Amino acid sequence: MTELGIVDIREIIKNILSKYGYDFSEFALTSFKHRLEKLIIKNNLSGVDGLLKKLKNNKEFFDIFLHEISVPSTEMFRDPSLWRWLRDELFANINEKNLTRFKIWFPNSVSGGELNSLAILLREMNILDKVQIISSSLSNKSIEYIKEGRCELKKIEVSAENYIRFKGTSDFSNYYRLDRYYAFRDTSLIKDVEFNKQNINFDNSPMNIKLILFRNSLIYFNPSLQEKILRIMYNNLSATGYLILGIKERIKNLDTNKEFALVNELEGVYKKSL
């Protein structure tokens, strides 16, 4: 298929804004373009016109659109040293009493890889049932997808290598089952997770959060939207809360930089400044 031009992309953004009130104009252009191109092929649409036609008065398709426009997490336990830090530095030092008030939030969840990684980590520390986990997604489709736990075999291979580097206490194969074409994660690990739908402006997002895991999502936004989202996260975090970004995401050039202190330079761990 031919590449989408800027004019095409603007037209799509304008249509979605007027029909559904979702503004994609501050999404990073190149990745947004790739997602649109992929979505058009996957849904067998005839180019931009096909996509615009399908989006017209079709809320069900728009939900699928919101799922497919988002980028899923890559492999479980990506950056094993971050997961080791979470286990050995963060959770190991929280006492029993504080654990029961420990709220963890995954905004913009698409595929559940990060959520399941954390669930495994907490299970191995025997504290999974003590903390509260909230996972928010843009679409119902993403929530279904996370609950189903389906995962490409290739990703499972890399995840298993990551798990070894994370130095987990079990065997990674205990956490998924295989069928012919896919792996399925052990979703019993996430049975107590609270799933909710968020909109693109993060309205009604949960408060008093101790830990936000938001890795490799900001990269899909332009600085102005990054700024807006970080402000919301600042408000959602409790006074001593942590925000974890991807290892190549930094907020040094944003105004919100002064609201957060970088406490682990290598792993992208920020803490709310008071």
Partner 1 sequence: MNYSAAIIGGSAGSFQVVTKILNSLPETFPMPVLLCLHRLKHVRSGFVEALSLKSNIPIEEPYDKDKLGPGKAFLAPANYHMYIELANRVALSTEDPVNHSRPSIDLSFITASNAYRNKLIGIILSGANKDGAFGLKKVHDNGGVTIVQDPEECEVKTMTQSALQLTKVDYVYTTDLIIKFLLKLI
- Residue 124 CB, shortest distance to partner 1, in Å, is 21
Q: Can you tell me which of 79, 86, 116, 230 binds partner 1, judged by CB under 8 A?
A: 79
Q: Closer to partner 1 at the Cβ: 19 or 228?
A: 228
Question: Rounded distance, CA 192 to CA 45, Å?
Answer: 38
Closest by alpha carbon to 218, among 187, 259, 249, 190?
249
Q: Can you tell me which of 40, 73, 107, 190 binds partner 1, judged by CB under 8 A?
A: 73
> Which 130-159 positions form the footprint of partner 1 (CB under 8 A)?
158
Long-range contacts of residues 67-70, Cβ cutoff 8 Å, at least 24 apart: 67/110, 67/137, 67/138, 67/139, 67/141, 67/142, 67/145, 68/35, 68/38, 68/39, 68/42, 68/43, 69/24, 69/32, 69/35, 69/36, 69/39, 70/35, 70/108, 70/110, 70/138, 70/139, 70/142, 70/220
Structure tokens at 144: 């279904």
From the list 27-35, 57-65, 96-104, 119-127, the region that binds partner 1 by CB under 8 A is 27-35
Binding-residue total with partner 1 (CB under 8 A):
29
Which residues fall within 8 angstroms of residue 121, CB to CB, at 6 or more apart? 83, 86, 87, 91, 166, 168
Residue 188, classified by CB atoms within 10 Å of its CB into exposed (0-12), middle (13-18) or buried (19+), is: exposed
Is residue 262 involved in binding partner 1 (CB under 8 A)?
Answer: no
Is residue 165 involved in binding partner 1 (CB under 8 A)?
Answer: yes
- Residue 57 CB, shortest distance to partner 1, in Å, is 30
- Residue 264 CB, shortest distance to partner 1, in Å, is 14
Q: Can you tell me which of 15, 25, 74, 187 binds partner 1, judged by CB under 8 A?
A: 74
- Residue 148 CB, shortest distance to partner 1, in Å, is 19
- Residue 74 CB, shortest distance to partner 1, in Å, is 5
Is residue 42 involved in binding partner 1 (CB under 8 A)?
Answer: no
> Which 208-227 positions form the footprint of partner 1 (CB under 8 A)?
216, 218-220, 222-223
- Residue 249 CB, shortest distance to partner 1, in Å, is 5
Is residue 264 involved in binding partner 1 (CB under 8 A)?
Answer: no
CA–centroid distance for 113 within its chain: 8
Strands 182-185 and 209-213: unpaired
Is residue 10 involved in binding partner 1 (CB under 8 A)?
Answer: no
Is residue 59 involved in binding partner 1 (CB under 8 A)?
Answer: no
CA–centroid distance for 63 within its chain: 17
Number of C-beta neighbours around residue 7 at 10 A: 9
List residues near partner 1 by CB under 8 A. 28-31, 34-35, 71, 73-74, 78-80, 158, 161-162, 165, 216, 218-220, 222-223, 246-250, 252-253
